[in-house]
Amino acid sequence: MALALWPGNPSGSGDALESWEKSPGSPVCEADLAVDRFLKRELGALLPAAGWLSEETADDPARLGKGLAWLVDPIDGTRDFIRGRPGWAVSVALVSGGRPLIGTLVAPARQEVWSATAGRGAWRNGERLVASTRKTLAGARVPAHDLPKEDQILTKVSQPNSIALRIAMVANDEADLVATLRWGFEWDVAAAALIAREAGAAATDAFGKPLAYNKRDPRAFGLLVSAPAIHGEAVAHLAGRAAALAPKG
């Protein structure tokens, strides 16, 4: 469904894609909503008792009382999707007790399916993933277009718009570090963080604290996914900026 609507698909419908901004700097398109409706229907039929938390659905607090909950980003990387670029994915995770049980990323424009089950490893297109094993922060590969002065010790590699795909790059040893210093939502990272962790990477918030899911406020400040040996060094490297930017109180 998403691939058929993607402007970069030469076999697509050819119709102009409808897109708009939900809020300044937050694009959405008809594909986001179509995929959201499809997944809500299909996953709801698969597990009727599970709660639902999606970027494109109004939040229903009833999910908090559910033993299981689906966390969904129907199109992660909407900017790339709208522009006909391949750096987008459909992200789905099933969580229980605040922890992901399964996670799947489908990136049809890249012909990739990423998946993980808690305690059973992570995979891309049937091949088991082994995360980066880098030992030092200096020179670490990070998906980025530009790096601020403080991060010039790092090495830029290609950056897809999808944060989930950037996290998956660490899981597949295509990057050593992915970090953000802003508010992010659970649906953005739940599936990919599980995939990274099951591949052997470390995955926390910007302060090095564990990520939790299906919370009343479905946000966390910052994200840090890295090779495990550089995680502590990365937390320390970001600590001053994280403390300055994080909400007080």
- The reply to whether 36 sits in an annotated binding site is no
Residue carrying structure tokens 């909407």: 78
CA nearest to 187, candidates 225, 218, 223, 143: 218
β-bridge mates for residue 100, sequence order:
95
Residue carrying structure tokens 């910007």: 206
Domain boundaries, the chain: 2-128, 141-245
Residue 14 CA to residue 141 CA, distance in Å, equals 37
Q: What pLDDT is recorded for position 16?
A: 83
Is the pLDDT confidence value at 30 over 60? yes
Contact 104, 122 (CB under 8 A): no
162-205 pLDDT per residue, tens:
999 999 999 999 999 999 999 999 999 999 999 999 999 999 99
Say whether domain 141-245 belongs to CATH 3.40.190.80. yes
203-242 pLDDT per residue, tens:
999 999 999 999 999 999 999 999 999 999 999 999 999 9
- The reply to whether 76 sits in an annotated binding site is yes
Annotate 70-102 with b (16+ C-beta within 10 A) or e (fewer).
bbbbbbbbbbbbbbebbbbbbbbbbbbeeebeb
- Show the DSSP H helices in the chain as ranges: 2-5, 30-46, 78-82, 163-171, 186-199, 231-245
**Maximum distance among all Cα pairs of the chain, rounded to whole angstroms:** 52
Class of the domain covering 2-128 = alpha beta
- The reply to whether 75 sits in an annotated binding site is yes
Identity (one letter) of the amino acid at 152? Q
Mean pLDDT of the chain: 95
99-136 pLDDT per residue, tens:
999 999 999 999 999 999 999 999 999 999 999 999 99
Q: Euclidean distance between the first and final Cα of the chain, in Å?
A: 44
